[in-house]
Amino acid sequence: MRNTLNETQGGRWLIAVAVAAALGASAYGYSTTTASHVGGRTLPASASVAELANAAERDPGNVTLWKQLAQAHRRAGDKAAAISALVRAARLAPDDREINAALRDLSDSRP
């Protein structure tokens, strides 16, 4: 089969796919490179569930911490805890598209 796209069109297509993938990742995977600042120290995006839960309880108004906690629970397979953390984040930032998309995704998926 012959590729009928010229190099310019192919390059544009690749860029469009990359942008779509990045947007999808941010909607469903949150921002995996975001670090949270708590009590003068920085928690990496890969912080443990326990570290993030403690930090979120100490700083309950920090939306980023609740989103990171939800992501950590999701990675650990605890869907109910991930939804709970996202609900806390949604109460703080009800118009956050990332939170709302993640809540829809988790609510629509099967256990």
Domains and CATH numbers, the chain: 7-108 (1.25.40.10)
Residue 41 has pLDDT above 70, yes or no: no
Record the pTM: 0.61
pLDDT above 70: residue 10: no
CA distance 20 to 49: 29
* pLDDT(28) > 70: no
Per the CB < 8 A criterion, the answer to whether 79 and 56 are in contact is no
For 47-56, the pLDDT digits (tens) are: 789 999 999 9
